Amino acid sequence: AQSVTQLDSQVPVFEEAPVELRCNYSSSVSVYLFWYVQYPNQGLQLLLKYLSGSTLVESINGFEAEFNKSQTSFHLRKPSVHISDTAEYFCAVMKGGSEKLVFGKGTKLTVNP
């Protein structure tokens, strides 16, 4: 069965600092990878996805993630965070041919002034 590991449960950073949220997944022949963001008392919003093609994917609000097949990783990065980025971030994997998502346990990002 697929599994996703987010090693950091909480990441506190100062505003305008860079941040990396780590995500590793168990290996499979083909996978699709996602990052979702969840603001307090809200549902999950898709932040970015890797389906195929370029291994570097970007979101409209400055986040990016790189699919690294050899290291089975899909780390999320932002060069300069804002207070509004404070939220919980979930990495998720979908095995090719499946309609099921498997989520990591989430990382709470807190951006302090």
Where do contacts with another protein occur on this chain (CB under 8 A)? 9, 32, 34, 36, 41-46, 49, 51, 90, 94, 97, 99-101, 103-106
Using DSSP, state whether 84 is helix, strand or coil. Answer: helix
Could you tell me the smallest distance in angstroms from the CB atom of residue 40 to another protein? 11
Using DSSP, state whether 83 is helix, strand or coil. Answer: helix
Toward another protein, which CB reaches closer, 85 or 88?
88
Give the chain's count of helices (H) and strands (E).
0, 12
Could you tell me the smallest distance in angstroms from the CB atom of residue 44 to another protein? 4
Using DSSP, state whether 87 is helix, strand or coil. Answer: strand
Task: For the chain, give percent helix, strand, coil, nearest 5.
Answer: 5, 50, 45
Distant-in-sequence, close-in-space partners of 60: CB < 8 Å, separation ≥ 6: none
Toward another protein, which CB reaches closer, 21 or 94?
94
Could you tell me the smallest distance in angstroms from the CB atom of residue 106 to another protein? 6
Which amino acid belongs to residue 68?
Answer: N
Could you tell me the smallest distance in angstroms from the CB atom of residue 98 to another protein? 8
Toward another protein, which CB reaches closer, 60 or 113?
60
Toward another protein, which CB reaches closer, 19 or 104?
104
